[in-house]
Amino acid sequence: MDYIAKRFENWNGTPYKSSHIKELADAVLFLEKRDQFLKDVYEEETLINYTIDALAGDIGLEKGLLEKWLQAIDRKGQAIIFGPPGTGKTFLAEHLARHLVSDGDGFVELVQFHPAYAYEDFIQGIRPQARPDGTLEYSVVPGRFLEFCRKAQDKDGICVLIIDEINRANLARVFGELMYLLEYRNKDIPLSVDGTLFQIPENVRIIGTMNTADRSIALVDHALRRRFAFIQLRPNFDILRRYHAREGTEFPVESLVSVLTNLNREIKDPHYELGISYFLCKDLNAEMEGIWRMEIEPYLDEYFFDNRTSADKFRWESIRSSLGF
């Protein structure tokens, strides 16, 4: 309650005590910004006191392993979580970020890269801006990372930017001067567009996710690779087991694990192994056929495009009896 009262005070300048929470709640109903207020309260409340034990419980991984990953992120300032599809890379990134900003005044933002993403989108660029008379002026506009860093400068706690699908963009081109600043966090450098000196704030952390089925880590620029810590995720069947045990789904998990193990052995490439996130479904008994036919089989058809025999081994008609369907 004190937390909500404090947030309200920040908006209207009037201090409220916890005892006045009912009056505060009534007043919020009439505020123009009440929807954003409630959204902010919810999002920031979920970041409070997110312990390493809670993180381990939600992720389903060992506490010691997560501590090593968090130590690497703190040491380098940035890390990339990489692995084949369906291993929970974005899920892990979001939960690591939530822990990093826990109990501080920091925040988490997410941006997704794509092939058209450019330096102008991420750092800064010249963009047309409409004047009141309808004509255009061309101003230097900050990109997502500059805006993120400016917000982080006003915070004392850790602030995390998640870059989803980081390898889908031309990283050397998107990052520009950031290539230097990622390694030398205590230095500043003039930006190429307007010459403004820029330094990454000390409290900024970057977590990227990388699907190795789209682009192998070996194809990432070596100069960029050494600026990141790399966290590898592979299919973890223990997480699958624990999930279905916790949810009480009564799905034959061991049979599914056996099928997936044989499938990944047939794939023979750790960058393309089939992950478990497809099957983290409470109603998997009812959804399994649809998941396999419409999500797994198209993936296998693409991977085994020149080897129909291997693809046919894992058609739904071929594996359904192994799963008890």
| Structural domains present in the chain | 2-45 (no CATH), 52-232 (3.40.50.300), 237-323 (no CATH)
Tell me how far the alpha carbon of residue 114 is from its chain's centroid: 15
Burial letters 253-282, b for 16+ CB under 10 A, else e: beebbebbeebbebbeeebbbbbbbbbbbe
- Per-residue pLDDT, 281: 92
Q: How far apart are CA 131 and CA 115, in angstroms?
A: 31
Within 10 angstroms of residue 145's Cβ, the number of other Cβ atoms is 24
Length of the chain: 325
- Per-residue pLDDT, 139: 83
Residues of the chain with pLDDT under 50: 1-46
- Per-residue pLDDT, 49: 84
Structural element, H or E, at residue 164: strand 159-164
**Residue 266 CA: distances (Å) to CA of 216, 304, 324:** 19, 10, 22
Comparing CA positions, the residue from 79, 67, 109 lying closest to residue 209 is 79
- Whole-structure pTM value: 0.79
Q: How far apart are CA 146 and CA 152, in angstroms?
A: 10
What single letter denotes the amino acid at residue 231?
I
Burial of 298 (0-12, 13-18, 19+ CB in 10 A): exposed
- Six-digit token pair at 97? 């970020």
Give 68-125 pLDDT, tens digit per residue.
999 999 999 999 999 998 999 999 999 999 999 998 899 999 999 999 999 999 998 8
